[in-house]
Amino acid sequence: MTLARRRSAHFALRWTLPLALILDLFAPAPAQAQAPPLRPYAEVRGEGIIAPTSSGLIGGGVQIPLGFYARLGLDVSGGVAHEHDESFAAARGDAIVRFLIDPFRESPWALSAGAGVSVAYQDPSTWRAFLAVVLDVEGRRAGGITPAFQVGLGGGVRLGMALRFSQRAYR
């Protein structure tokens, strides 16, 4: 190895490590501490179920974040069902996991899709469990409330609307 190459290698080794340490000390830290933590939030909802035993329900629940892109929704609702010219009390409980396409509110409207289970009291004194699949469209947040429109299947065709009290930074 020539003298020039040895000096160049020695210079590189001598200054690379201290320079790397200095850059590491003064490099900006990730912005993790600046982002608000994900917290559960409430929702109020109304829905109609179109099936042989149709029903109209009003209820509420909680959306629990399972990370940035997933929410577990636990909801209960009650109302009236109608079948064969008879009306009677109806109730429903849902546990649905939704995948959010835009969890950071980068656009005013966002889609989410989900699946889960729904337990319904539809017929007189009869409880039934159903697989539920849903598609949500969430709107622009205003006054701390995000409106959402839902269509899905689970004990019939589900059409609903929810008002979600979510955080400003996340859906």
Predicted local confidence at residue 119, as pLDDT: 95
Residue 98, strand partner residues? 71, 114
The answer to whether residues 105 and 127 belong to one domain is yes
149 HSE (CA, 13 A, CB side):
5
Tokens representing 85 are: 């010219």
pLDDT digits (tens, 9 = 90+) for 20-72: 656 566 666 555 556 788 999 999 999 999 999 899 999 999 999 999 999 99
Residues 26 and 43 in one domain: no
Q: What's the pLDDT at 98? A: 97
Per the structure, how many domains does the chain have?
2
Residue 85 belongs to a domain with what CATH number?
Answer: 2.40.160.20
pLDDT higher than 70, residue 122:
yes
Encode pLDDT of 65-103 as tens digits.
999 999 999 999 999 999 889 999 999 999 999 999 999
- Shared domain check, 55 and 25: no
> Is 20 inside any structural domain?
yes
User: What pTM did the predictor assign?
Assistant: 0.77
Q: Is 42 found in the same domain as 29?
A: no
CB 147 within 8 A of CB 161: yes
Locate all alpha helices (DSSP H) within the chain, ordered by sequence.
3-26
CB atoms within 10 A of CB 150: 20
Residue 16 shares a structural domain with residue 60 = no
Q: Which domain holds residue 129?
A: 36-164
Distance from C-alpha of 159 to C-alpha of 150, rounded to nearest angstrom: 6
Do 28 and 43 belong to one domain?
Answer: no
9: helix, strand or coil: helix
- Burial of residue 102, with CB atoms counted within 10 A of its CB: 0-12 exposed, 13-18 middle, 19 or more buried: middle
Output the six-digit token pair for 37.
């933590």
Beta-carbon contacts of 103 under 8 Å, excluding residues fewer than 6 positions away, are 68, 69, 170, 171
